[in-house]
Structure 1
């Protein structure tokens, strides 16, 4: 399953990464290029690639920056077929593009919930489906950045966690099937990553909180979460990207890879929680 040993190893291994304008995607693109991967760094809006280009220049690496909107099947097809046309191979895909969302069922519009699923779940499937035949040809790797929120549901993250749960379930089900044809499937589960929470949830903290009867619980949840980012316990994007590189380069990568000891302990609570009581006690304390 290791592309290093594939029949096409005479040319550089090629990886396509989505959502590389910032955060984990940007850090993973630079790290992959530094490690010798021919890296196709994609993003929905290429006018937002300045930070990516700057990071690549500072690292002294070359990136092939292309447009890819995970919610647009035509855009996905164009990007994947372009990689094959230009390089003749695709050895790995890193599904990183995603969007946060903060809200709760009674207050959320159904269209907003569907949008969260479209980006975080169906977008992953769009890219994975388009790439799978090429990954079969290379004995390649399909890697998806999910979240600890794909294992443990978290207050006011219902839609986001539902999408991440769906991704984890899909990939966990796909992994043994893909393995029969030489494709390795992994999910990478970060916890809190510095700089991403406020930017990605689509919620204006400065505008105040008016969530009706849920305002008190939401305020407590936000205070607890912001404190996690301010006290230095949030991981850097570069740290999370190291787990992506583990999935890319390990001889036999695990299916599920957490990015920190905290993340391992957190998801371990769920995986050892047969009746669900431990998780409910944990997350209930965040809003009680």
Structure 2
């Protein structure tokens, strides 16, 4: 990943939050950053931040819906044609969903899997031939919810669990052809993503039926937890560190809180400690 040709990174979901912060930080670190988003009409905040950082010439905005396989293939091919290489992919695009399957049905589960899991797999698959050529890397933003299943996040956590399993399985295979794989696991982050989910849940409470009381308890607890949330820039910092690292670890948590939260699961062999913890959120 050295040489005179500028390194190129593709980052998805860059209109707000972690993706926006990661795109600007990657450009500041000298990467030519292809920042993708479904609606490029929302690129104003990203480009304003890039100009403020003095890196607007290193940030290129492209449209991309990761659930559209043809668009993914075309976007990757276009980047390689324009820049001659692709050195890294940061899978950041995602969509939250709060609710429970009895009330919300299978369509919500499938929609969550499409953007949070299949979109990640599709982009990774399309990028791998070019990452093999450059000795590149795949960095995927999951969540502590990809390790610890959380109440009223069944669809979202299922998708993030799937991403974790996919990448953990892919990592040793990709390494044999010179491609490194890493997972970034944020905890609570202050962003429009979070605000939109809480707004949605407020509406959901009116149709929660037998789950109303426990959903309200969950919402109350979640709102309080954001008092110690990271900023998007803080959560994005490990992504840029991984881009520049000689050797990436498989997993990186973005805060001490996230490390402690994930560790509770990884040492809980029968699941009782995690169940006691998450059940207490519904009291």
Q: What range describes the TM-score normalised by the shorter chain of this pair?
A: over 0.9
Alignment partner of 1:286 is 2:265: no
Aligned match for 2:97, one of 98, 101, 113: 101
Alignment partner of 1:170 is 2:166: yes
Shift of 1:144: 0.3
**Structure 1 counterpart of 2:240:** 245
Q: 1:26-68: per-residue Cα shift (whole Å, max 9, x none)?
A: 0000000000001000001111111111111111112110011
SS of equivalent to 1:108? helix
**When you count helix as a share of all residues, which structure comes out higher?**
2
SS of equivalent to 1:39? strand
The 5 Å alignment of 1:1-288 reads 3-4=1-2, 9-62=3-56, 63-195=59-191, 196-200=193-197, 203-205=200-202, 208-229=205-226, 231=227, 233-288=228-283
Measured on the aligned residues, the alpha-carbon RMSD in Å equals 1.2
Shift of 1:210: 3.1
Q: 1:239-258: per-residue Cα shift (whole Å, max 9, x none)?
A: 01101112211111110000
Determine the C-alpha separation between the residues in 2 that align with 1:260 and 1:27.
16
Determine the C-alpha separation between the residues in 2 that align with 1:85 and 1:208.
49
Determine the C-alpha separation between the residues in 2 that align with 1:142 and 1:68.
17
The more displaced of 24-33 and 220-229 is 220-229
Determine the C-alpha separation between the residues in 2 that align with 1:226 and 1:201.
8
Shift of 1:204: 4.8
